[in-house]
Amino acid sequence: MTLYFTKDHEWLRVEGETATVGITKHAAEELGELVFVETRDSGTVVKAGDSVAVVESVKAASDIYAPVDGEVLDNNPQLSDDPARVSSDPEGEGWIIKFRLSNPEQLAALMDADAYAAFIA
């Protein structure tokens, strides 16, 4: 399992050909408690930079972007009843979407944990 981060404050946990995506703790703190999450449907093919989800808090609505190319496999079913899970555990049970990587070479352009920590400092 390898963890990557984007400049848009998404994290990406890669296990084999599957990537799980969510927002970082930093992003969750900035947004505040989420009240709604909407994701792309399974089977949707996305390119890096495409919106794969929208999260809404009492402060704002924000798009969640695909960090790399892939196909949506699943979304977190718990978020329809409990969108605040993203706020309370953004880098764990609050994951948003899973997809199959179609171009793993794109991972090299993402940040590791140390680079992300420096980015938000």
Cβ proximity of 21 and 99 under 8 Å: yes
pLDDT of residue 44: 96
Tens digits of per-residue pLDDT, 16-63? 999 999 999 999 999 988 999 999 999 999 999 999 999 999 888 899
Rg (CA), the chain: 13
pLDDT digits (tens, 9 = 90+) for 80-121: 999 999 989 999 999 999 999 999 999 999 999 999 999 999
The CATH topology of domain 2-112 is OB fold (Dihydrolipoamide Acetyltransferase, E2P) (2.40.50)
User: What is the C-alpha separation between 9 and 13, in angstroms, rounded?
Assistant: 13
Residue range 3-16: average pLDDT? 95
* pTM more than 0.75: yes
pLDDT given for residue 19 in this prediction: 95
Between 1 and 30, whose confidence is greater? 30
Helix (H) or strand (E) segment spanning residue 25: helix 25-31
Instruction: Give CA–CA dist 10/43, Å, rounded.
Output: 21
Q: What local confidence, expressed as pLDDT, does residue 60 receive?
A: 86
φ, ψ at 87 (rounded to 5°): -70, -40
Token pair 């995506």 is at which residue? 21
Give me the residue spans of the domains in the chain. Answer: 2-112
